[in-house]
Structure 1
Amino acid sequence: MSVVAVWLCDRDGSMFEDRKLAEEHDKYLELAANITQLIEENIPGIDEQQSEAIGLLLAQRRELLAKACKGKPDELLQPFTYEKPVTLNASVAAKT
């Protein structure tokens, strides 16, 4: 039996074999949570699911959003595919 080091993201329970990916994922979730809180505090009556969806969307597109804020607003309209960091398979995680 071998020992495999894994990193657990306490925000959503995702497990990673790579520390860098785990930290990236955690930062993404923290940014999404802060954006969600900002929206909920400043837009009265917004639905929690909608504010979370907006927070996740903006966090996923954070690099494009930064470019847009620096004078390239068309960047936000470019096609985008979010690639979620690779997490451990549930069956692999159960073995560790």
Structure 2
Amino acid sequence: MAVTKNNFEVNTFFELVFGNKKIRGVLIGDTIAKYHLPNLIAFYQRGEFPFDQFVKYYDFEDINQAEADSVGGEVIKAVVVMDKEYQPPS
């Protein structure tokens, strides 16, 4: 999820507890970048890992569609943009 630099409040108690879900912060894919990024870049340059084609951006209002597309396999990486001023890369 792409989030805004502004503060926001989320009330998720029932969703987390009864839906057996977790919120987890991840920075740079939760990996050791100095080991994995050179390989990913090489794969990309050889056309073996076109990660730029895996991402689709959704406005926050379309969060349900983002989930449906992700679950249905329509998209690999659904990014929900909460900040209206954010412009995804083209």
Compute the TM-score of the two structures, normalised by the length of structure 2: 0.26
Q: More helix per residue: 1 or 2? A: 1
Q: More strand per residue: 1 or 2? A: 2
Which structure ranks higher in relative contact order (CA pairs < 8 Å, sequence separation ≥ 6)?
2
CA radius of gyration, larger in: 1
Compute the TM-score of the two structures, normalised by the length of structure 1: 0.25
